[in-house]
Structure 1
Amino acid sequence: MPHSTPLITTIVGGLVLAFLLGTLANRLRISPLVGYLLAGVLAGPFTPGFVADTSLAPELAEIGVILLMFGVGLHFSLKDLMAVKNIAIPGAIAQIAVATLLGMGLSWFMGWTLVTGLVFGLCLSTASTVVLLRALEERQLIDSQRGQIAIGWLIVEDLAMVLTLVLLPAVGGIMGDGNARIGDLLIELSLTLGKVVAFIALMIVGGRRVVPWILARSASTGSRELFTLAVLALALGIAYGAVAIFGVSFALGAFFAGMVLNESELSHRAAHDTLPLRDAFAVLFFVSVGMLFDPTILIREPLAVVATLAIIVLGKSVAAFVLVRMFGHSKRTALTISASLAQIGEFAFILAGLGITLGMMSEHGRNLVLAGAILSIMLNPLVFALLERYLESSETMEEQIMEEVEEEEKQIPVDLCNHALLVGYGRVGSLLGAKLNDVGIPLVVIENSRTRVEALREQGIHAVLGNAANHEVMDLARLDCARWLLLTIPNGYEAGEIVASAREKRTDIEIIARAHYDDEVAYISERGANQVIMGEREIANSMLNLLHVERVLEEEPRECPI
């Protein structure tokens, strides 16, 4: 099909098909990700009908990866990264080694060369950034210890793949015809490591000052468009510069760009403003993966596909589980990380493509990698659902509470009563919390961001880490003797569930919540809130009060000059 406007056609076709099939998947009670992947298969060159531009789709998907990793960096401090280095570094390296050896074993069985087996095994060893982060976000695990270990593990895998992409030509020469020397390999390795270290040092030392300053100047203009543009320019510009100048990945560059902005008070606004774009381009990532998939390989090579999928879903997961348990973490943490890593994604496609270019991999091998990627991404939501069902059925309530305490931190119940229980400490919550402190009202904050909880505790404010929908978290915050429950989280429907749960325990507590839309107001009110504040309505009322309408109406009307 000819494309007069290939970019527009690819974006429109991909998003429309993703919306239709994602909605259908949601109706069938399966993950929308499956719908997005199937949309890519329909838009790809291997199925009849509409065919999107296969050269543009991966680049659009890369923008999604950049924005997603930038958003993760906004919620992930350097201290969080260093806190998990002892498990993330050795764990990721060992897991890559295990998966690579398993892939090489399968390739030997299929009669491939050692070099082809090495590339094939490396393709199966690293998880997809987008899939892992989506899974953690859906389960509100980004700020948990499990989430931080998984993200740290992912960062180490990204660094390992950056080194692999640089060293692969030299390794191929040594293992193939011997034209490359070990000394050349060591020089390449040293140069690459030096560039990575230089980039990270530049971002931590210089980026911490420059990036927040640029955003602060953009915000001071009062233009929402300029601020959003500044956020996108920094995220995309730094990611591109990381690749062009230092040779690291787009994802790694964007992650550190977000991380240096983490300490700025504008980080929450930056995350909020880029959320719609992140979601849209993340969908295009899944569509682009689906476009690469040739469904006929399932008929031509069923056993090879099953074996490849087994290495990705079972081999990697078992290796990760054993490694996490060896480091003394709980079974729940080990299983969560195992499920997070039971798929492959963007680096697998890049490595496979480079392997073909260098003559180190066949089209047959790339087709198996693509089949393994798309099937493992489709199965990943199911893996998480089975994991959650298993944990619910196999653990007693006491064991679950102990697991949560072990993997998060030991949280002691707040020794306070007649206090205001504030859920959420974002822009609205922080303003309200400051006012309550000023008038001397005792305050307990519930937050699912570890960074914010630690900052609150440093200020002497009682804070509980976790989700307010969790009964144990509410017990730690002493809902049983609180005077007010104040919900400032932006999701009205989530607030409604928290209100219903709290009202069931405390019929006498006064509950005030925040909402954005009329339907959210009704939803929260029906579940037991005493009052629901809608920002737009309150602004209108305040402006009307400032007009002193009653006094104006009592005055005699002024004559209009002719």
Structure 2
Amino acid sequence: MHHSVLLEIVILLLISVVTVSLFRRFHLPPVLAYLFVGILVGPHNWGWVADTDNTRFLAEFGVVFLMFTVGLEFSFPQLLAMRKEVFGIGAAQVGITTFAVLVIFVALGESLAAAFIIGGVIALSSTAIVIKQLNEQLEINSRHGRLSVAILIFQDLAVIPFLIIIPALSMEANGSIAVELAFAVLKGVFVIGVMLALGHWLLRPLFYQVAKLHSSELFTLTILLFSVAAAWVTDFAGLSLALGAFIAGMMMAETEFKHQVEVDIRPFRDVLLGLFFVTIGMLLNLHSLLDLLPWVLATVTGIIVLKVLIIMVIGHYAGIEKGVTLRTALSLAQGGEFGFALLAMALNNGILSDAVSQIILASVILSMVVSPFIIKNNGYLAKRLFANSYVKSRKQNIQSINEETHDIKDHVIICGYGRIGQNIAQFLKQENIEYAALDLDPVIVKEAHDAGEHVFYGDSTHKEILEAVNISSARVLLISYDDHHAATAIIQQTKRLRPDIPVLVRTRDDTHLAELQSLGATEVVPETLEASLTLSSHLLLLLGVPMNRVTKAIEDVRGTRYQLLHQFYHGQSVGDVSDPELSRLGLHSLMIPEGAYCIGKQIKDLELDKIDVEVTALRQDGKCNQKPSVDSVIKSGDVVVYYTSPEGAEKAEAKLLIGK
């Protein structure tokens, strides 16, 4: 038995690693990869992994931790800022879609409870797919991107009442559904109120005392205890595990420990959530779907068409431009991760029949598979279907920008008018230098434009927008926000229009510094490195170092493109392993023991440069020699410091110790 369980775990991990890798190669979301793994290894297909109650119960904690992180990200200020879109358009989309699907499935002969749950499943969209795809297409801050995010926010919130209602719907067979629903809602409100009150008084002092002990293990254990205990409380009250986790996350979001909690909980969430999607995939029976295929295809088509039509109607009555509404609708025309959670709850409570659950499950999965392709072409479809209104609106915006900027010359174009863009504009105004700023935040644009500033709504990656702000006569173009993909697109577009114009780029660090410079960026300003220089200059001045020496030292670093600051010890932090372009070069050190191969040899004799290893320092007799001569002889007890990748460090260690 022990070996059987262990073998199942090994098989599951092996297939998951291979499948997720393949899906990432084709830019498909990991959610689909886990579902595919479940379909393959589940009892209805290959049968390599058993679908047991224990496995499902463990997998449910993936949803628990997902809802915990949703609670962590819950922001009342954000909701207030987007209240019209969230509680107006978002609420209308979820409500109308749920009701429309409910009517359709009741007409098809399903029970009221089953039809209600199916409506909820179809009303929700995939936050992971939509956000990822819009980010990759640089559309997350566009009008349809912001509207999509607002609707997704309400969809996430709408999961909460579903989590309260679904357990009560299982009482329909006893004829007491109305009473049970009312009781469930009242019970949910009471439990949430009590938990929020206790959390408000006890949570911050508890975590403050834990943090004072400076134990990362204890901190992580306390987070797990808190989130799981909150889930147990709501489960004990007859509600769902996920509801308690969401409340716990909301309470945690109000403390100063929010960000550390999010980092610590992520590994548990990702692994268990992956297991949850695997168990969902296990429910799908490919053999029975052959008979149900016409129903599945009809349902997939229905999901896409119905959601697009409903959002189009809502957008029309909300006065939103047709092209923007269609792009939003196409972005949200799929099922989502929370839909699987609702579907699993309905199956556990015996509300859905096997045939219906197979159709809905397969349809939601297929809608998510085709979703990236639909989102990718949302702009093309909007222009084709609403060419007059959509293109006319864009032309009007470009014409409006052109009318206000056609007379300015020798100006600065600021791409991004957030905090940094506005600070730069203040300095330009002091020097009476003209500027034109572009941003995709309509609130910032409206307020700044009403104040008489040359700030316009527009995407800096578009050729027409750059031409509208008169790039042909501009002196400099500055990218003030940290977005590598957008910066790349802006530089490429700029160099096509004006190869000679200087381009300044802000970045978070030096990861993409060389790439941006190769594309044509005149200067790349990494925040972390410039912060290091600023702190260093203040420190040296406080220590009495003359101003001219401090200035020279800082300018020398900038003159070498921050070469000195590229070399640092990474420690346990390995960065974002999901980014294949992330630089992994760093400093490494090695103390030379007795009998090492390199003892008595000069640095040049070791030929470390041939394996891409640069010796940056040599510590001998307690003194550290920065940039040692290649003629330096290495002795026993010396410490050699070198700059290379992790693979290069292994090769350097082998070369220094055994000569290989």
Equivalence for 1:348: 339
Within-5 A mapping of 1:118-517: 118-173=116-171, 175-180=172-177, 182=178, 185-190=181-186, 192=188, 249=243, 284=274, 290-396=281-387, 399-400=390-391, 402=393, 417-424=409-416, 441-449=433-441, 462-475=454-467, 477-514=469-506
**AA matched with 2:124:** T
**AA matched with 1:371:** A
- CA separation in 2, counterparts of 1:443 and 1:475? 14
**AA matched with 1:101:** V
Equivalence for 1:78: 80
- CA separation in 1, counterparts of 2:35 and 2:170? 33
Within-5 A mapping of 1:53-68: 55-60=57-62, 63-64=65-66, 67=69
Q: Is the 8 A contact 1:320 1:334 kept in 2?
A: yes
- CA separation in 1, counterparts of 2:460 and 2:269? 25
Equivalence for 1:553: none
SS in 2 for 1:296: helix
Q: Is the 8 A contact 1:294 1:367 kept in 2?
A: yes
State the 1:344 CA deviation. Answer: 2.0
Equivalence for 1:556: none
State the 1:450 CA deviation. Answer: 5.2
State the 1:469 CA deviation. Answer: 0.5
State the 1:301 CA deviation. Answer: 1.9
State the 1:50 CA deviation. Answer: 6.5
**AA matched with 1:98:** A
The CA deviation string for residues 310-340 of structure 1, in whole angstroms up to 9 with x for no partner, is 3322233323322322333222232223223
State the 1:484 CA deviation. Answer: 1.5
Equivalence for 2:540: none
- CA separation in 1, counterparts of 2:458 and 2:409? 20
State the 1:97 CA deviation. Answer: 0.5
- CA separation in 2, counterparts of 1:7 and 1:454? 56
- CA separation in 2, counterparts of 1:452 and 1:278? 38
SS in 2 for 1:335: helix
User: More displaced, 234-243 or 79-88?
Assistant: 234-243
- CA separation in 2, counterparts of 1:482 and 1:279? 49
Q: Is the 8 A contact 1:68 1:278 kept in 2?
A: no
- CA separation in 2, counterparts of 1:259 and 1:144? 27
- CA separation in 1, counterparts of 2:492 and 2:227? 44
**AA matched with 2:337:** E
Structure 2 alignment gaps of length 5 or more: 538-548, 555-620, 624-660
- CA separation in 1, counterparts of 2:222 and 2:418? 24
- CA separation in 1, counterparts of 2:451 and 2:261? 24
SS in 2 for 1:486: strand
The CA deviation string for residues 125-162 of structure 1, in whole angstroms up to 9 with x for no partner, is 33233334334433444444434433443344444443
Q: Is the 8 A contact 1:65 1:282 kept in 2?
A: no
- CA separation in 1, counterparts of 2:305 and 2:522? 50
- CA separation in 2, counterparts of 1:424 and 1:235? 40
Structure 1 alignment gaps of length 5 or more: 551-559
**AA matched with 2:163:** L
SS in 1 for 2:161: helix
SS in 1 for 2:413: strand
User: More displaced, 515-524 or 483-492?
Assistant: 515-524
Equivalence for 1:96: 98
State the 1:381 CA deviation. Answer: 1.5
* Matched pairs, number: 522
State the 1:49 CA deviation. Answer: 8.1
Equivalence for 1:554: none
SS in 2 for 1:332: helix
User: More displaced, 426-435 or 382-391?
Assistant: 426-435
- CA separation in 2, counterparts of 1:340 and 1:197? 35
**AA matched with 2:501:** I
State the 1:98 CA deviation. Answer: 0.6
> Which fold has the larger relative contact order, with Cα–Cα distance below 8 Å and residues 6 or more apart in sequence?
1
Would you say 1:48 and 2:46 are equivalent positions?
yes
CA RMSD of aligned residues (A): 5.5
Distance 1:163 1:396, change over 3 A: closer
Distance 1:196 1:102, change over 3 A: farther
Q: Is the 8 A contact 2:67 2:249 kept in 1?
A: no
- CA separation in 1, counterparts of 2:420 and 2:138? 20
Q: Is the 8 A contact 2:438 2:456 kept in 1?
A: yes
Distance 1:50 1:539, change over 3 A: farther
State the 1:259 CA deviation. Answer: 8.8
Distance 1:319 1:379, change over 3 A: same
Distance 1:67 1:397, change over 3 A: farther
**AA matched with 1:506:** R
**AA matched with 2:173:** G
SS in 1 for 2:174: coil
- CA separation in 2, counterparts of 1:176 and 1:167? 15
**AA matched with 2:323:** R
State the 1:374 CA deviation. Answer: 1.1
**AA matched with 1:22:** R
Q: Is the 8 A contact 1:445 1:462 kept in 2?
A: yes
The CA deviation string for residues 96-124 of structure 1, in whole angstroms up to 9 with x for no partner, is 10122223334x2xxx5454444444433
**AA matched with 2:144:** R
Q: Is the 8 A contact 1:144 1:450 kept in 2?
A: no
Q: Is the 8 A contact 2:505 2:523 kept in 1?
A: yes
Structure of greater Rg:
2
State the 1:360 CA deviation. Answer: 2.3
Q: Is the 8 A contact 2:300 2:366 kept in 1?
A: yes
